[in-house]
Structure 1
C-alpha cells in the first residue's frame, strides 16, 4: 500500500471518528447547557434585580454588597462552615472506623454491613422524628441515660438550646450519612492485597504501622473524594436543619441555604435570595478549584 493510500485511509478513519465523537458529544453539550448552564445564568441574572419576579428593577451588584455588608451574613456563613466541616469529618471518621471493623474476619460482619445501609435509605423526615424522640428533654432516651449516669443534672433540649442545637443537627446528619463514607472506604479496603499485610506482619510491623504504611496510602484518594463531595453536599444541605430546628433557636443553626429559603419565601426578596445563592456558588467554585490545585484525587485513587 502506497503512502498516499495509507494517508487517505487514515484521513477517512480519523474523519469518521471525529464525526462520531461529535454526534455523541453534541447532545451531551446541549443537555448540560439546558439543565445546568442556562439555569445558573438565569439565577445570576435574577440576582441583579431588586424584584425579579414582578416589576424588575435593575440594581446591579447592590444585592451582593448589601448581603456581604450585613453582620448576619458572616454568622450564617460560619454556621454553614461549622456544620459542613463537622458533619463531613465525623462521618468520615465513623465510616472509616466501621469499615475497618467490618473488613476484619469477625462474626456478624455481614449483618453489620447490611444494617449500615438503613440510615441512608430512611426518608429524612423519619430520621428527624427518630432523633427528636431520642434527644427529647422529657422522654428522650439519651437524656434519661445521661441523667441516670450522673453525667448531667437535668435534661438538655438539644434542638432548642443555643449551646446544643448545632450539635443536635450534626449528630443527626452523621447518623444518616455516615454510611456514605463507610461503603466507599470498605470497597477500597477490600481491594487491598492481603499479602501486603502478611509481609508487614512477618517483618514485625505493628497494627498502627500497617495502617500508616499500607492502609492509609490506599485510602487516601477515597478520603479526599469523600471530603470534597460530602463537604459540598453538606454545605448545601437544607432539609435536616429546616425540619429539626428551622434555623433556630435565635439563628443558632441558620446556614446559608436556610437563609436563602427565608429571603425567598418568608421575606419574598427573590433578588437577595438569588444573590445569596450566587455567593454560595462562587464560594464553592473557589474551594473546589483550590482543592484540585492542591490535591489530585484521581492519581491517589489509582495508586
Structure 2
C-alpha cells in the first residue's frame, strides 16, 4: 500500500457525512444515508468520513458503526477515499479498524479518547497500538488542548500515520508543531474545525479541512478549497464571510449545535437528514429561524417571511 499517495490525496475536503435516524424508531435510515453519500459524490467530494462527529459516532452502537462503514465503502465504490472513524476503548477501536480494513476502507480516523483521565503517554500508547495493528493507514483526530503536541512528534515517524486532523484552534501552537515535525514523515495536516478556521490553518501549514457544510452546500466549500490552493485571497475571505454566521451557529452552546444545524439546514432544503439522537436535542426555534435566514441569503431557499 502506498501510504504517501493516500496522504497526498487528503489535501482536500474531508466530508463528514451525517447519520440519518428515523423520527419514529430512532434507528439508522440506511436509504437516507445512501442519499447523503451519493449527494457528496455527485458534487465531486474526494474524501468521505463515515462515523465522524458530525455523523454522531458516539451515539452509534458498535454494530451500527460497522454497518455504516461497510455501506459507505460499497456506495462510494472507489469514487473517493473512505476514511472510517473508529474509537471507544482500545480493543473496540482495533476491532472497528480491522473491520474497516476488511470492508475496504482506505484509512481510519482515530477519534481522540473521551476517557476523563488521559495522559500524554496513555494517549500516545492508545494511538500507536491502533496504528501498528492495522495495515491500512491512520489519521489522528487531535482536539484535546490538554494533550501535548509531543504526542504527535513521537508518533510522526510511524509510516502508517499519514495525517493529523488538528482541531485545537491555537494557531501559534499548530504552526510550531507543523514546523517541528520533519517533512520526511509525509504528514498531511488537516484543519479539523471546518471552513471558519480553514484559511488560518492553511497559512500555518494545513492543506485540507474537514466539513459538515458540504452536506448542505458543497459548492461553497469546494470554492474555498480551490481559492486556498490557488492563493486567491480575495475569494477565500469572501467565502469565509459568507459562511461565518452558519459556522458560528454550529458552535453555539459549546458546539452543541454542531450536528443539528447541519440536519436542520438539510431538512429545510428537502434533503431528508433524519433526526438527531440524544445527547443532541432538536434545534431551538430562534436557531431554526437563523438557519432559514442563512439559507435564504445563500439562495438555497426562496425569500419569504421567516417562521
Give me the TM-score of the superposition, normalised by structure 2: 0.23
Q: Which has the larger radius of gyration?
A: 1
Say which structure, 1 or 2, has more relative contact order (CA 8 Å, 6+ apart). Answer: 1
